[in-house]
Structure 1
Amino acid sequence: MKLPLVVMLCHGPIWILHLYLIDARSEPAFSSISTPVSSPAVTPIPQISASMAAFSPGTQVGSKNQQMDSNKKLLIALVVASTALGAVLLSLLCLWVYHRKKSHKSHKKDAAKSDAMKGLSLAPFMGKYNASKMTCNKGSVSLMDYKLLETATSNFRESNILGEGGFGCVYKARMDDNFYAAVKKLDGGSPDAIREFETEVELLSKIQHPNIITLLGYSIHGETRLLVYELMQNGSLETQLHGPSHGSTLTWHMRMKIALDAARGLEYLHEHCNRPVIHRDLKSSNILLDSSFNAKLSDFGLAVTDGTQNNKNIKLSGTLGYVAPEYLLDGKLTDKSDVYALELYFWNFYWEENQ
């Protein structure tokens, strides 16, 4: 709506009132004072004076009628002006509410898109390799084609191995010219392997946090199951500490930052997930480092939800040396079991640095 049109609409009732007032003022009013009619003779004629006297009351009545008509016109003008002004204001109010709702919806939509991409370093290859998607409470996990992942890892060549786990190896995969991923290959169809695979897919499909590994997709081919993660360029904390460099690249400041990142990841699992998650297997090989040495928790195959309420149904699992005493001896599992493992490891961290 252009500005001059809005101004005319807002001031239209005032112009109508103004025109009515001018019209009312321009009405000729009869004077209630009658002038005696005189003849050429010096003495006035009694009959004419009488008739003029009789005419004067009629003139006053006519003047009153004209005044009443003028008041009616003024009243009508006020009613019309008020109605028109109210209609214009109501229209402007409705237009304002409409635009406000529209902008609010647009803002929510943009916020949702921003939240969906927050903390993720995904590349456009996802649409290329997707076969379908398994939707969860937050986000979704892509079901990828096994042949494409086999090609991306050069048929799971030994030179592409990044690390080894309890049920298989992790391979570096070239998904695109400028994008690499890590593919964990779980061989065999043992109940434990299948259970850990399903647990990891279920949990990581619902979690998005800067200090927790991002699951990009998964694949099932016969008894072989694959998990596809974002690539962590600096490997695991264990590799940095006990590999060829023996921790020489990790300054004291970097070590403290890694400890803080791991603690933030644990805080999110324990305090901010819809159902609290207990990792149960915190150790240096499950703390991964990206290109900037930001730490992320990984390997959620042994993780459980609501562990404090279902202790009787939870099988004792974990890595000896990092399992909390109350969990090892009495089977009492709480979020403090994760805190114990993290504190124990970083005390060793501190001790190694100060030798």
Structure 2
Amino acid sequence: MKRVQKPPPFLLLLLHIFFLSLLPLKAATSSSRTQAKALIHWKSSFHNSSSLPPHDDLNSWSLTNLDNLCNWTGIVCDHNTKTVAQIDLSNFNITATLIQFNFTTFLNLTQFILYNNYFRGPIPSAIGNLSKLTTLDLGYNNFGEEIPAEIANLTELGYLSFYGNYLRGTIPYQLSNLQKVQFLHLGGNYLETADWSVFSGMPSLTYLDFSWASLDSEFPEFISKCSNLTFLDLSQNAFTGQIPELVFTNLGKLEYLNLTSNSFQGPLPSNFPKLKHLHSAENNFSGPIPEDIGQLRELQYLDLRNNFLNSSIPSELGLCTNLTYLNLTSNHLEGKIPSSIGQLRELQHLDLQMNSLDSSIPSELGFCTNLTYLDLSSNHLEGKIPSSIGQLRELQNLYLQMNSLNSSIPSELGFCFSLTYLDLSRNQLSGSIPLTLSNLAHIQSLDLSNNNLNGSFPTEIAFPLLGNFYLSQNNFTYNTFVGNSDLCRDARGLSRACNSKKNNRKVIIGVLVPVCGISVVAITIALILMFHKKTKCALKKINSTAQNFENFVSMILQEEVKFTFGEVVKAIDDFHEKYCIGKGGFGRVYKAELLSGQVVAVKRLNMSDSNDIPAINLQSFENEIRTLTNVRHKNIIRLYGFCSRRGCIFLLYEYLERGSLGKALYGVEGVTELGWATRVKVVKGLAHALSYLHHDCSPPIVHRDVTVNNVLLESDFEARLSDFGTARLISANSSNWTHIVGSFGYMAPELALTMRVRDKCDVYSFGVVALEVMMGRHPGDLLESQLSESSKSMEDNAELLLKDVLDQRLEAPSNELAKAVVLVMSLALGCIRTRPGSRPTMLYVAQKLSAHSLPSLPEPFGMLTLNKLMGI
């Protein structure tokens, strides 16, 4: 037998190495297909998303396209291994979870971006296996539960964002182990305060955002160890205490600092030499504005409003020559406006209102030729309006009301050609109105009331865009408007002057009325014929759209919801009348008690039998409901979801047993349970709800219909704002057009002119509701006096005693309750001001109502008048 010779050992070793070298190639090929299958499996768990743009869909994620993984939408491969290196599905409107995502299949992933989708559920701890990640962005989703501590295993991370989710629990201290992270964004969540002392410094960190995170500790001390920070945002939390001295000395590279809406105390932080933006509004900072603020030569934006800063405005502020925005509103500043402010040649916005400044207006302001907004109102300024103000050719808003300015209106004011809003009311201005004001072709609102002006109004002046014009409480003569009757408004003694051309107007009216009448009839007939034809097409389109919606049993339901729409329908016997608990002009509300014991409210909005819902609005309505399901606030009703069935839209809300505020206010509860403390609590809750919608939601949400009937009450009388969003369904040419702008008696007056809904419309409606809650009746007389052309009606209301205006069913409040009621009433009166720009923001109102200490009463409660409250 022939003996087989064994190969030499070194040859066996070479063969072994050869075969091993082939393994990575095989593994890579296998891994690529494995990854493709894993992505397809994950995609199968996605909810259908009708709003995906055609060029961004995920059709490429297919079993028929397994070998083309590197060309799939949202996928970037490593050039060498041909395996997935990056997954970027930002802005895809995907509704899904990460539970079905196989993290172990993508261990070489370097970027994982799911920004701005509808991902929900927990962030799995398995995410800590992606040890090569440099970018992780899960911002603007619906992720819940806690931040997994395993994130700390991602030691290569340079960018980490969880912003805008519903994450809860404490911030894991292990995050500070991410020594390479430069961008850390945890804001917009519901986090709990951590033990900051166990956090280590993060030497690479340049951007840190904890805004809107529900944190309530003192200043996080680990931040002072992050010496490379250039951006720090701690706004909209409940941080307390003083800013540690170490922050001043260690954060020398800081360029952006936002501390807005917290409860920080002590001296104002200022010693940051490279600072460009300083936002410290809505806090409890006290003491003087530090003189060394002049060393911040790169400062561009300074907002210190609504604090307790005192002393004077330091002249050193004029050294901050790069300032474009300066707001010192609502502090306790005294003394003069420094002339050095004229050195701020880049300044565009200057707001010093609601202080105790008592000097003259410096003529040097005329050097700030880039100013577009100037507000010095509600101070004690004296002397004249400087003629140099005419150099401000870009100025659009000028508010000097509620001061002690005297002398005449300077003719140079007419050279501010861009002026849109001008308010000089409640001063001691004298003389006649200068002819040069005719140059103000863009003026929309002009208030010269409550001065000592006299003479006649120049006949050459005609403001083509003027919407609001106030001249009451002056010394004008009866012939003030002779020759210019178009400008008749509410000035004293103008009735005869306006009647001086009465006969001429009769002739004009006698001709115009018949002509206009015939024109209106003709146009109406044409419109009816046109809309009748369009209505048929619109209804067909609506029905078609509704049928598409009905392909889904339920849409956009919250993750926590454990019931189906079918169960709801069964619980109310297919919308039987006996389950109806409310009827409105645009739908009905039903109470559904489910088998699980849960109770929900169902609002049914009819579509198919209404000409008021154009088909084009259905998609925008669906998008808005998507937004509303993400709204989480203790003072806003929970919206569980949105369904469509049988030509109707259904909104599913949580059910509150007490019902509406209106029901409680005007029922037995109004006397027995709605005491002053409870009413203040209700108003505060409503203020916080609207502040959240206006300032926390992106984009901001305007409610459009704030009334006592759209505020619901929990068992402990916590207010819950409800019933918003439906107004977008109705078109402007609808017979129900009033729903666009809200309910009569609560609508802002500017809507009658513009029909444009803005956040200040909500502010006005809030003011009406707050007054109604405190007065125990609708404040219609007060609202009418605000708009009335009769100066006497305004005078009479202004001199009303507060104690006589409040709900007479209750005993007058005393002690701290009296202060709280006065604060609510003064804020409410500010909210119903005719000029939208003079109303406060809901953020300001909410902050004032939540202040730790209430302002002292200017005089005994029983002697307070409404006029006094308007000045608080």
TM-score norm. by structure 2 comes to 0.24
Which residue of 631, 641, 660 maps to 1:217? 641
Q: CA deviation at 1:178?
A: 2.5
Q: Is the 8 A contact 2:741 2:757 kept in 1?
A: no
Query: 1:303–1:185: structure 2 CA closer, same or farther, 3 Å change rule?
Result: closer
TM-superposed CA distance for 1:153, in Å, is 1.6
Give the number of the structure with larger relative contact order, counting CA–CA contacts within 8 Å between residues 6 or more apart. Answer: 1
Tell me if structure 2 keeps the 8 A contact 1:162–1:170. Answer: yes
Summarize deviations over 1:301-354 as a string: whole Å, max 9, x none. 3567xxxxxxxxx99521111111122223354211111111122112212253
What is the aligned counterpart of 1:286 among 670, 695, 710?
710
Contact 2:635 2:685 (8 Å CA) reproduced? yes
Q: Is contact 1:211-1:296 (8 Å) kept?
A: yes
What is the identity, as a one-letter code, of the residue corresponding to 1:171?
Answer: Y
Q: Secondary structure at the match of 1:176?
A: coil
Give yes or no for the alignment of 1:319 onto 2:319: no
Q: Residue by residue, what CA displacement relative to the aligned partner does 1:144-172 show, whole Å, maximum 9, x if unpaired?
A: 75542221123333332222222221111
Structure 1 segment 1-355 matched on structure 2, within 5 A: 102=150, 104=152, 113-114=167-168, 131=553, 133-134=555-556, 145-189=564-608, 190=610, 192=612, 195=617, 198=622, 201-243=625-667, 245-302=669-726, 317-352=741-776, 354-355=807-808
Contact 1:270 1:277 in 2 (8 A): yes
For the residue of structure 2 that corresponds to 1:257, the secondary structure is helix
After superposition, the CA RMSD in angstroms is: 3.8
Q: Which moved more, 1:318-327 or 1:187-196?
A: 187-196
Q: CA separation in 2, counterparts of 1:315 and 1:292?
A: 31
Q: Distance in 1 between matches of 2:631 and 2:698?
A: 10
How many residue pairs were aligned?
Answer: 234
> How far, CA to CA, are the matches of 2:598 and 2:153 in structure 1?
34
Contact 1:132 1:144 in 2 (8 A): no
Distance in 1 (alpha carbons) for counterparts of 2:585 and 2:686 = 22
- Where in structure 1 are there 5+ consecutive unaligned residues? 1-96, 120-129, 305-313
Contact 1:231 1:290 in 2 (8 A): no
User: Quick one: distance in 2 between partners of 1:235 and 1:301?
Assistant: 19
Contact preservation (8 Å) 1:181, 1:229: yes
State the alpha-carbon separation in 2 of the partners of residues 171 and 248 from structure 1. Answer: 28
Unaligned 5+ segments in structure 2 are 1-130, 133-147, 155-160, 170-187, 192-551, 729-737, 777-805, 809-872
**Aligned equivalent of 2:358:** none
Once residues 648 and 563 of structure 2 are traced to their aligned partners in structure 1, the CA distance between those partners, rounded to angstroms, is 13
**Distance across 2 between alignment mates of 1:250 and 1:166:** 28
Amino acid at match of 1:158: E
> Using the alignment, how far apart are the partners of 2:607 and 2:678 within structure 1?
38
SS of aligned partner of 1:292: coil
**1:330–1:201: structure 2 CA closer, same or farther, 3 Å change rule?**
closer
Structure that is richer in helix per residue: 1
SS of 1:134's equivalent in the other structure is coil
Instruction: Give the Cα separation in 2 of the matches to 1:154 and 1:147.
Output: 11
Preserved contact between residue 199 and residue 300 of structure 1 (Cα < 8 Å): no
201 and 142 in structure 1: CA distance in 2 versus 1, 3 angstrom threshold: farther
Distance 1:187 1:101, change over 3 A: closer
CA deviation vs aligned residue, 1:188-227 (integer Å, no higher than 9, x gap): 4235457486365233123111111111122211212211
Rounded Cα–Cα distance in structure 2 between residues aligned with 1:162 and 1:315: 21
**Equivalent-residue separation in structure 2 for 1:175 and 1:258 (angstroms):** 29
Aligned to 1:32: none
CA distance in 1, matches of 2:153, 2:669: 53
Whole-angstrom distance in 2 between the partners of 1:143 and 1:328: 45
Amino acid at match of 1:284: V
Displacement after TM superposition at 1:133 (Å): 4.9
- Give the deviation of 1:243 after TM superposition: 3.9
Tell whether the 8 Å contact from 2:632 to 2:638 is kept in structure 1 after alignment.
yes
Contact 2:665 2:773 in 1 (8 A): no
Deviations 1:230-277 (A, max 9, x none): 111211111112345455321211111110000001101111111111
Residue identity (%) = 32
Contact 2:555 2:642 in 1 (8 A): no
Contact 1:199 1:301 in 2 (8 A): no
Alpha-carbon distance change, 222 to 206 in structure 1, aligned in 2, over 3 angstroms:
same
Tell me the CA shift for residue 183 of structure 1.
0.9
Paired amino acid for 1:177:
S
Is the CA contact (8 Å cut-off) linking 1:277 and 1:303 kept in structure 2? no
Name the larger-Rg structure: 1
TM-score, normalised relative to structure 1: 0.56
CA distance change for structure 1 residues 301 and 279 in 2, over 3 Å: closer, same or farther? same
Deviation per CA, 1:113-167: give whole Å up to 9, x if none: 5389979xxxxxxxxxx955538xxx66979755422211233333322222222
Q: Secondary structure at the match of 1:269?
A: helix
SS in 1 for 2:635: coil
* Contact kept? 1:169, 1:186, Cα under 8 Å: yes
How many angstroms apart in 1 are the aligned matches of 2:555 and 2:739? 31
Between 1:271-280 and 1:172-181, the stretch displaced more is 172-181
